[in-house]
Amino acid sequence: MVQDLALGLLDRGLSVVPVLPNRKVGWLHDRFEQLGLPPVEFSLRSGRDLFAPLRLARLLRELEVDVAHSHEFTMGVVGTAAARLLRIPVVITMHGGEYFAGAGRRRWALRWAVGAATAIAAVSPESARTTEEILGVSPGTVRVVPNGRRFTVGCRKRGRAALGLGEETHVILSVGSLYPVKGHDVLIRAFARLAGSGARSDLILAVAGQEVGRGREFMALADTLGVASQVLFLGHREDVSDILAGADLFVLPSRSEGLPLALLEAMAAGKPIVASAVGGIPSVSRHQHEALLVPPDNVGALAGALHEVLSDPTGSLEMGVRARARALELYTAEAMTNRYIDLYHEEGTEGEPPVQE
């Protein structure tokens, strides 16, 4: 999302400087390098580094920043403190999840940042309400700016070739790092109900996403349930658009979400979708309109929804067509960028934003 927003702002003639904490840059640093936007790093020694706002403020002053935009808890707090020192506007975006709610000091810190920032945004109405309730702030304090994507059209032939599969095989695809919150264990159990004991030997479940230490656990589960030969763990992929084009059905079994970009990509690809009814998902993919939604952590409901989609090709095709139309109308990177630019202006920036020279 940060990558697409940066590119959208550049397209509108604004100057953009990605600023990343040096202890947590990883793949995002590399991605910005590839885009020709080399990020600037600042020292963040820990989540309780009390001098980090001073170091960040000095950096932002050197960069002649006019508006700061911070993402998630740590940078929301540190970025707001730095911006207040410089007396420049700052917008915070929270991307979903309630990880900051566990400790009172974290809730206090974010509540302070919300009061001190120019504006705070969440990626869905559900995430906005949850954040307001956790922080104990007034309804409407957290603005809603849905995520958007620069959609890439994939090639079904390339996707099938990458998986080593022919057209006779039906592919169920899930995209997301293998964290417990993504619900891959529920998905594998549901898939085993659908395809186990040779009931549907024509089915393949493909899981694309960084393994983050859980890959072996899920492989073992697939083996225990007798479907290891039908489950492909693809790891991190740069060709998701092709693999998505090659899939027949997209599934997102998450236990918690904000507004997942993988869902938007599946919608734009026109895929039939089965997803958990959590976070911002129901407001984006409406049940029986753009997706079939099921309760999280419900193996039976998930297996039933997968079976329903696979058993109704005509209805599934129509659902995919509606999903694509909705994604291209409401959830593009251009729409997201325009909303944030409006927010920058509305919330107190003076005159025009800085223009790239």
Does position 86 have pLDDT exceeding 70, yes or no? yes
Whether 37 and 83 map to the same domain: the answer is yes
Whether 47 and 118 map to the same domain: the answer is yes
Q: Is residue 354 part of a domain?
A: no
Average pLDDT score over residue span 220-233: 94
- In sequence order, the 6+-apart residues with CB closer than 8 A to the CB of 163 are 171, 204, 206, 232, 234, 243, 246
Q: Is residue 357 part of a domain?
A: no
Question: Quick one: tokens of 92?
Answer: 């915070």
Q: Is residue 139 part of a domain?
A: yes
Q: Is residue 183 part of a domain?
A: yes
Whether 228 and 113 map to the same domain: the answer is no
Average pLDDT score over residue span 252-272: 95
Average pLDDT score over residue span 207-234: 88
Q: Is residue 296 part of a domain?
A: yes
Give the pLDDT band (50/70/90) at residue 25.
low
Strands (E), the chain: 19-21, 40-42, 68-71, 90-94, 119-122, 142-144, 170-175, 203-208, 231-235, 249-252, 273-276, 292-294
- Structural domain of residue 196, as residue ranges? 156-330
Whether 24 and 165 map to the same domain: the answer is no
Whether 62 and 182 map to the same domain: the answer is no
Lowest mean pLDDT among 81-95, 201-215, 234-248: 201-215
Whether 315 and 339 map to the same domain: the answer is no
Strand partners, 203: 170
d(CA 182, CA 255): 6
| The pLDDT value given to residue 351 | 40
Helices vs strands, H then E, count in the chain: 15, 12
Whether 315 and 264 map to the same domain: the answer is yes
pLDDT tens figures, 176-209: 989 889 999 999 999 999 997 677 889 999 999 9
Which CATH number do you get for residue 96?
Answer: 3.40.50.2000
Does position 350 have pLDDT exceeding 70, yes or no? no
Domain count, the chain: 2
Average pLDDT score over residue span 121-149: 93
| pTM of the predicted model as reported, rounded to 2 decimal places | 0.85
| The pLDDT value given to residue 213 | 61
Whether 165 and 306 map to the same domain: the answer is yes
| The pLDDT value given to residue 342 | 86
Does position 353 have pLDDT exceeding 60, yes or no? no
pLDDT tens figures, 301-316: 999 999 999 999 999 9
| The pLDDT value given to residue 22 | 80
Q: What is the DSSP letter of 312?
A: -
Average pLDDT, the chain: 90
Residue 322, helix vs strand vs coil? helix
Does position 348 have pLDDT exceeding 60, yes or no? no
Whether 181 and 161 map to the same domain: the answer is yes
- Residue 270: which of 327, 342, 347 has the closest Cα? 327
Whether 22 and 69 map to the same domain: the answer is yes
- The total of other beta-carbon atoms located within 10 Å of residue 177's CB is 14
Give the pLDDT band (50/70/90) at residue 23.
low
| The pLDDT value given to residue 196 | 78
Q: State what percent of residues in the chain have pLDDT above 90.
A: 76
